[in-house]
A and B are shown apart, each in its own frame.
Chain A
């Protein structure tokens, strides 16, 4: 391996536009959580399907959950990739959304929490294959536009106990980011 190649084998630290937050980790934990294997029905948006499934697991209450995609289909799958931000407002922004059509899901993860608006929100990264051409792709999903495909989607759901996960404005990166913000009050 040449010196030039060695020099490139190094990842960069990047300066974001805002003040660097003092605390680098926000961590919350809870006792054993409810876990389920869920088969999501075709036709629903990913965010609606996951919010409804977690409510059914939690007696109608909205709760935060960590989700592992096991297998199944999206149709359509609408996603984007990261891109440099020419405006300089952020270090990384997103490409325009692209519609991959009907795809078979190969894997991925998602978090269910609350958006700035208070509505349910799902942050999901996944990888998948186009069944017509065999092309593998992946990225950040538009979880409102992406719908569960014809064969359904099997996921493993870990309800995050009583943890509240909410999108918060982050002055450091100029993005709105999921953060653990506290605990849901226990019901008698």
Chain B
């Protein structure tokens, strides 16, 4: 019986550094970088920057808007996977500092997180091995 977890083995490929200019969306921006570079899967590495305003989800029902300018992104993590048609889909979460100094966090909503001055994005390509995905088996 599967325990529901899965292990995807692979190796890291190219490293990508991108400067994203003002008013481009953070999540779309990461996906556009993957399209341009032909990257199907990657992990987000040391990335940082600022947003005009930030819009993050705390749960399926709760969305929070943080007002800048600018909201500093002080922690960022996430990955990009490809959907069934091969389109890049980024999942990005972060920790944010408002101009007031208040700290909060959440998952960035696509299309609602425009870059303020700059955003530095570093992506590490993830190349899945031929063995693919191993489903967990309970009791082992």
Which residues of A are in contact with B by a Cβ distance under 8 Å?
A: 8-14, 16, 21, 23-33, 35, 64, 66-68, 81-84, 90-92, 95, 106-111, 123-127, 136-140, 156, 158, 160-161, 163, 165, 170, 172-173, 175, 177-180
Contact = CB atoms under 8 A, between A and B. Distances in A.
B82 interface: no
Interface string B97-139: 1111101000000001110111010101000000000000000
Contacts of A165: 17
B81 interface: no
Interface stretch (B1-9, B28-36, B84-92): B28-36
A163 B63 CA distance: 38
21 contacts: A11-B51, A11-B54, A14-B22, A14-B116, A16-B22, A29-B15, A31-B15, A84-B69, A92-B50, A106-B95, A108-B48, A109-B48, A126-B75, A138-B75, A158-B45, A158-B124, A160-B15, A163-B17, A165-B17, A170-B118, A177-B117
Question: What are the 5 closest A-B residue pairs judged by CB atoms, nearest first?
Answer: A138-B74, A82-B70, A66-B46, A109-B46, A92-B70
Interface of A, helix, strand, loop or mixed by DSSP? strand
A64 B54 CA distance: 29
Interface residues of B, number: 56
A21 B23 CA distance: 12
Given A12-B53, A82-B116, A138-B97, A24 B72 contact: no
A158 to B, nearest CB: 5
